């Protein structure tokens, strides 16, 4: 087992990322989508909290043809680390970032004639072509040229001599709801917009619409490429689409060590607001991890952690830096390893469990794990 990062940290609370799971998931998604579609590994937001550079290397090694980021800064980070494959920028760059975007060879999704004109002017000044993918809004309602705006966007790129279109993309709003008919509607609109581009003489290499759920569930969404984020981390896009059902393995776990132990008597009140009282005499353990690390305060009295071969409930309010755990008759020992997310002793706590308790999605749980928690990467390309 190769340990790639050994951050300077003395705290025992650690996010572990299994790069072999990332590789497995990329290969799994490649198998699902087949040879006609390539995989773009979405590593925005520091690879959903998993660490952008090691994840990007593992994904590339497992056959992801593209990487995608949300910010120019995130693309620059990949380039500085030596990743030299194609990188998609999922939104239009701020004007001030165009220089860095071009210098680092990031391919933006573009949807406004204003940005096409900016890029064209930049390309003429620099005497080079700027490659873009056009983004259509087929029903997500966020960014993209709407069907009404599509022809003027096409006309804009048609007259921009230094802007080269090499892709057309859209984004699905409800791909993670297996029954939602809007996905097929969006894909039908998308097909018409791709056709109109062809009619205008724009025949790009890449056509892409699917996020992870789209790639897993909707054959018609796969086109030439899928943009998979949550799936490469082995996490479920929604309650209705379970990652494990699709052969994906979670890459992330979170462990800590017991930092304080005490025996309490029945009725002892615990933590802010005294929202928990010992049901009888027993043991309490303190864990040095809290909401400032991204452990949701919503887990108060609701989540379970794993140690000593069993599941043990969180006792009382999750605080900024510490969490208490009711160990009942199991005496915890100082320094004992505790798993907050991950598997231990045949038991498992999933990111999905935290998302469910917190009434949110897996995406939010992992992107909220803060940088106070060191990341340790194991496995992966060597």
Supply the residues annotated as catalytic: 44, 272
Residue 321 C-beta: closest distance to ligand PLP, Å: 30
For ligand PLP, the closer CB: 70 or 117: 70
Please report which residue ranges of the chain form alpha helices under DSSP H: 19-33, 44-48, 52-61, 72-80, 98-103, 113-126, 147-158, 182-199, 212-217, 351-357, 362-367
CA-CA distance, 239 to 362, in Å (whole number)? 9
CB contact at 8 A, 118 and 126: no
Map tokens 């990652």 to a residue: 243
Residue 229 C-beta: closest distance to ligand PLP, Å: 2
Residue 22 pairs with which residues in a beta bridge? none
Copy the structure tokens of residue 300. 């108060």
| Contact positions with ligand PLP (CB under 6 A) in 89-118 | 90
Give residues with Cβ within 8 angstroms of 32, minimum separation 6. 215, 216, 246
Q: Strand 347-349 and strand 337-344: pairing? A: antiparallel
Among 25, 131, 212, 322, binds ligand PLP (CB under 6 A): 212
Give which of 381, 250, 375, 271 is closest to 317, Cα–Cα.
271
Angstrom CA distances, 379 to 19, 215, 364, stand at: 5, 26, 25
Residue 42 C-beta: closest distance to ligand PLP, Å: 4
| Contact positions with ligand PLP (CB under 6 A) in 227-256 | 227-231, 237
Among 4, 28, 30, 171, binds ligand PLP (CB under 6 A): 171
For ligand PLP, the closer CB: 225 or 285: 225
For ligand PLP, the closer CB: 97 or 217: 217
Q: Provide the mask over 311-350, with x wherever binding to ligand PLP is found by CB under 6 A and - wherever it is not.
A: ----------------------------------------
Among 60, 107, 211, 253, binds ligand PLP (CB under 6 A): 211
| Contact positions with ligand PLP (CB under 6 A) in 52-81 | none
- Does residue 320 sit in helix, strand or coil? coil
> Site for ligand PLP (CB under 6 A): how many residues?
13
223 binds ligand PLP (CB under 6 A): no
CA-CA distance, 194 to 191, in Å (whole number)? 5
Binding window for ligand PLP (CB under 6 A); candidates: 115-123, 209-217, 271-279, 374-382? 209-217
Composition of the chain by helix, strand, coil, percent to 5: 35, 25, 40
Angstrom CA distances, 337 to 23, 309, 317, 334, 353, stand at: 27, 11, 21, 9, 20
Residue 21 C-beta: closest distance to ligand PLP, Å: 16
Residue 351 C-beta: closest distance to ligand PLP, Å: 13
CB contact at 8 A, 331 and 277: no
Binding window for ligand PLP (CB under 6 A); candidates: 72-80, 211-219, 292-300, 314-322? 211-219
Residue 196 C-beta: closest distance to ligand PLP, Å: 21
Can you give the binding site for ligand PLP, defined by CB under 6 A?
42, 44, 90, 171, 211-213, 227-231, 237
């Amino acid at each position: 087992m190769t340990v790639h990062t050994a951050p300077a940290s003395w705290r025992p609370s650690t996010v572990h990322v299994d790069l072999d799971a990332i590789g497995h998931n990329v290969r799994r998604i490649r198998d699902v989508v087949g040879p006609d579609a390539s995989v773009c590994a979405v590593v925005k937001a520091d690879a959903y909290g998993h660490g952008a550079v090691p994840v990007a290397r593992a994904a590339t090694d497992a056959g992801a043809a593209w990487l995608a980021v949300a910010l120019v800064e995130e693309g620059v980070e990949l380039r500085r680390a030596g990743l030299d494959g194609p990188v998609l920028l999922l939104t239009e760059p701020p004007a001030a970032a165009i220089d860095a975007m071009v210098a680092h060879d990031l391919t933006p999704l573009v949807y406004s004639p204003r940005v096409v004109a900016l890029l064209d002017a930049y390309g003429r000044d620099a005497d080079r072509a700027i490659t873009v993918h056009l983004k259509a809004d087929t029903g997500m309602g966020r960014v993209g040229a709407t069907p009404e705006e599509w022809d003027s966007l096409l006309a804009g790129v048609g007259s921009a001599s230094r802007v080269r279109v090499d892709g057309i993309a859209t984004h699905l709003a409800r791909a993670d709801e297996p029954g939602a008919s809007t996905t097929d509607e969006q894909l039908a609109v998308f097909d018409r917009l791709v056709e109109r581009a062809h009619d205008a003489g724009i025949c790009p290499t890449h056509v892409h619409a699917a996020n992870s759920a789209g790639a897993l569930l909707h054959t018609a969404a796969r086109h030439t490429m899928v943009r998979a984020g949550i799936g490469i981390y082995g996490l479920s896009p929604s309650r209705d689409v379970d990652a494990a059902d699709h052969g994906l393995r979670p890459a992330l776990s979170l462990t800590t060590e017991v930092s304080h132990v005490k025996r309490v008597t029945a009725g002892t009140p615990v933590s802010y607001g005294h929202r928990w009282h010992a049901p009888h005499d027993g043991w309490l353990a303190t864990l040095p991890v809290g909401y400032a690390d991204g452990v949701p305060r919503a887990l108060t009295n609701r989540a379970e952690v794993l140690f000593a071969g069993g599941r043990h409930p969180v006792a009382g309010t999750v605080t900024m830096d510490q969490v208490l755990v009711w160990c009942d008759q199991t005496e915890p020992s100082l320094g004992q390893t505790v798993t907050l997310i991950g598997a231990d002793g045949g038991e498992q706590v999933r990111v999905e469990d935290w998302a469910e308790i917190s009434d949110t999605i897996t995406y939010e749980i992992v992107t909220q794990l803060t940088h106070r928690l060191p990341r340790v990467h194991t496995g992966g390309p060597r």
